[in-house]
Each structure stands twice: as C-alpha cells, then as structure tokens.
Amino acid sequence: MKIAIVCYPTFGGSGVVATELGIALAERGHEVHFITYKQPVRLELLGNNIHFHEVHVPEYPLFHYQPYELALSSKLVDTVKFYGIELLHVHYAIPHAYAGYMAKKMLQEEGIFIPMITTLHGTDITLVGKHPFYKPAVTFSINKSDVVTSVSEDLKQSTLKLFDIEKEIEVIPNFIDRTKYSTDYTDCQRSLMANEDERIVTHISNFRKVKRIPDVINIFYRIQKEIPAKLMMVGEGPEKEYAEQQCDDLGIKDKVVFLGNSTEIDRILCFSDLFLLPSESESFGLAALEAMINRVAVVSSNIGGIPELNKEGISGYLANVGDVDEMASKALQILKNDETLSRFKENAFKVASKFDILNILPLYEEVYEKAYKYR
C-alpha cells in the first residue's frame, strides 16, 4: 500500500511510534510517506520505499498564529495526488486528525477517496484534547476518522469517558523492534558512568510537569542514602533546570548525570539497572518499554496505561502517583540484592518481548485493510 503518515517529528513517544511503524511498514514492502514539519528524529534512511515531505508554513506578520493545519492539509492533498497515496495514518489527534479530515474532504471534491486512520497517543486526549477550547474539534475529527486506534485500553476508556465518541476504538499497543537492540553488552560503556559497586538508575522523558521530575530526584535521593548509586537523566524540557537545582540543594549533584536528548538511548539503557517513571498521566509509557527490552526493571506510578506494561512484582513495581516513599522502598527491594535484580531484569525483557513489532505490525495492517474498504 502507499501510506501517508502524519506525526510530530520530535523525541515524543507518538513521533517515535509513528516513525518506527513507518520504517517497519516500508521494510514489509509498503511505500511510506512521512508528512510533517521536520524530518522525524528516528528517521535516518530515506529510500525508494520511504519518503519525507516537509510542511512549510510561510511566516506572515498579519498572523499572530501561523496556520499549520492549513499548510498540512494542502501538503496532504498535493502528496496524495502526486504519489497516488491510498491511505492516511495520522498520529496524535491535534491537529493531525483535523487537518487529515480537511484533506480527505478536499480530495473527495476531486473524486479521490482516501481512508483515514487516527491513532490516539495520550496527551492529545487526556491533557490537551479535553480542554473546552479544543474538545469540539477533537470530538469531530475522531468521529470523522474511518478507523480510530488507541495505544492502550486505558486510553480507550478515557477517550470514551471524556468525549462523545460514536466510533469504535481499537486498541493497538505500542511496540518495540527487538532487532534494533543489541544483546551483545560487550561494548556497553558502564565503567564510564559508574563504579562497579554502584547501581544505575535511569529516567528518560521530555521533562514536562506530567512526568513528575521532582519525584524522580526524590526517589533517587532515598535510594542513594541506602546503596551506592548513580542517576542518569535523559531528555530535555521545561523541568530540567529545576531538577538540576534540586540535585544541588539535596547535595547529590555528583551522583546525577544530565545527558540531554539522545538518539542512542540503548547505549544508556544497556548499563541501567532500574528505570523510574513516576508520571501523573501516561497512556502507555513507551520509554519504559524501551528500558524493559534492554533488561531494565521498572518502578512506576500505577496510572493510565502503565499497568498494561509494567507488571507488579514481575518486571518491577507500581505505586500511587506521588508516593515517593513507596517507590523508593520498592526500588531498593529490587536493587539491594544481585539475584533479585537479575530476576527482575530478565522478567522485564520477557514482558517487553510480548510487545515485539512482529506481533503488533499485523494489527495495523489489518486495520489498514479494514479502512481501505471504506473508500
């Protein structure tokens, strides 16, 4: 099939999922066209089967807000016509589903019928989409999609609760391509980061409020009081500066490394023992899945879709949002003993393996076939 994928090109989970999905579809022989404002961060190789079309939004001083949706829907119309695209897959409802629907309608005027799949990722529903300023447009574009998918059962239920949805929502969980993660740990440069006797705790996110970065630091503070440990903080975002200050105030600056954004997180996860994800909202928790496939145990909050991924007492532990004492005590339970840690690490890998792309990709292909019938 010739598929157009619309996504955010940044480090965010929805962009990563869309990009990895597109790459895998191209490997399976589909022709994939990414349409967004910048080349997606994980999209390195373009080729016969994999294309990128940049959406340009010309600056005009009259506009206080430049009309991205307009430029995106026009780009979609042109690309669909030029390449004979057969299907649109938009990731993140705002504003992609809205722009996709406009493109669909414009194309219909010219006798071209193109089905649209919308994948809901989380913040487009739980944080941004439910705001009264956006809600009518989000409800409309979900209902007008030919097929709607969500990345967890919890997100599906939240969408049904928060919006007036007439469409069926199919759950297709996020996935991981195991072949991209090495099982050869010989070039893992652990010694550069920590002493042999230190445990390595890691957090990866966009450092937004929803990730509860102060909780990450407070949990680690309690851990390092009991055992030798280092904390790797990966990512960039508005809460980073405060986090650095917090580490300074707590006197643990020398034990915390801020690594910024990384396109090679497996090189950090390969030497990590424990991943912390204390988020106050998380529809899935892709970063935790990436940790788990790298044999990293997880201590997380029990919110949203996380319990569908992190299994209590198996791949890690879960606690109520904000309960840093419980999270720290559970983390120590895992980290204190070598055998316990190895067991949790191995289990994390096993649980993550269930989300192998080979199991999930056919679900998207099924959905595409179904949507195609709506033409």
Count of residues that bind ligand GMT according to CB under 6 A: 20
Distance (Å, rounded) from C-alpha 299 to C-alpha 293?
15
Q: Which of 9, 13, 115, 173 binds ligand GMT (CB under 6 A)?
A: 13
284 lies in the binding site for ligand GMT (CB under 6 A): yes
Q: Which of 19, 149, 174, 347 binds ligand GMT (CB under 6 A)?
A: 174
92 lies in the binding site for ligand GMT (CB under 6 A): yes
Distance (Å, rounded) from C-alpha 102 to C-alpha 121?
21
Shorter beta-carbon distance to ligand GMT: residue 146 or 282: 282
Smallest distance from the beta carbon of 59 to ligand GMT, in angstroms?
26
Write out the binding residues for ligand GMT, residues 136-165 only, by CB under 6 A. Answer: 151
Shorter beta-carbon distance to ligand GMT: residue 228 or 238: 238
Question: Which of the stretches 7-15, 41-49, 256-264, 341-349 binds ligand GMT when contact is defined by CB under 6 A?
Answer: 7-15
Shorter beta-carbon distance to ligand GMT: residue 206 or 347: 206
Decide if 96 contacts 72 (C-beta within 8 A).
yes
Share of the chain residues as helix, strand and coil, in percent rounded to the nearest 5: 45, 20, 40
Question: Which of the stretches 73-81, 243-251, 280-288, 337-345 binds ligand GMT when contact is defined by CB under 6 A?
Answer: 280-288
Q: In which element (H, E) is residue 25 found?
A: helix 13-27
Local structure of residue 50 (DSSP, 8 states): E
Q: Which residues contact 135 (CB under 8 A, 6 or more apart)?
A: 129, 163
3-state SS assignment for residue 55? coil
12 lies in the binding site for ligand GMT (CB under 6 A): yes
Smallest distance from the beta carbon of 287 to ligand GMT, in angstroms?
7
Q: Which of 25, 87, 102, 210 binds ligand GMT (CB under 6 A)?
A: 210
17 lies in the binding site for ligand GMT (CB under 6 A): yes
Smallest distance from the beta carbon of 152 to ligand GMT, in angstroms?
8
Smallest distance from the beta carbon of 278 to ligand GMT, in angstroms?
12
Nearest to 78 by CA among 25, 44, 46, 114: 114
Radius of gyration of the chain from its Cα atoms, rounded to whole angstroms: 21
Smallest distance from the beta carbon of 13 to ligand GMT, in angstroms?
3
User: Residues of 103-113 as b/e, b for ≥16 C-beta within 10 angstroms?
Assistant: bbeebeeeebe
Q: Which residues contact 287 (CB under 8 A, 6 or more apart)?
A: 13, 204, 205, 275, 277
Question: x/- string (CB under 6 A) for ligand GMT, residues 101-140?
Answer: --------------------xxx-----------------
Question: Which of the stretches 100-108, 202-210, 223-231, 326-334 binds ligand GMT when contact is defined by CB under 6 A?
Answer: 202-210
216 lies in the binding site for ligand GMT (CB under 6 A): no
DSSP 269-326: HTT-SEEEE--S--SS-HHHHHHHHTT-EEEEE--TTGGGTSPBTTTEEEE-TT-HHH
Distance (Å, rounded) from C-alpha 228 to C-alpha 240?
24
Decide if 2 contacts 30 (C-beta within 8 A).
yes
Shorter beta-carbon distance to ligand GMT: residue 15 or 223: 15
Neighbouring C-alpha atoms within 13 Å toward the C-beta of 153: 3
173 lies in the binding site for ligand GMT (CB under 6 A): no
Q: Which of 73, 206, 246, 294 binds ligand GMT (CB under 6 A)?
A: 206
Q: Which of 139, 281, 315, 347 binds ligand GMT (CB under 6 A)?
A: 281
DSSP 61-122: TT-SS--HHHHHHHHHHHHHHHHT--EEEEESSTTHHHHHHHHHHHHHHTT----EEEEE-S
Distance (Å, rounded) from C-alpha 327 to C-alpha 329?
5
Q: Which of 200, 286, 297, 348 binds ligand GMT (CB under 6 A)?
A: 286
Q: Which of 200, 285, 296, 368 binds ligand GMT (CB under 6 A)?
A: 285
283 lies in the binding site for ligand GMT (CB under 6 A): yes
- Residues lying near ligand GMT in the complex (CB under 6 A) are found at 12-15, 17, 92, 121-123, 151, 174, 206, 208, 210, 281-286
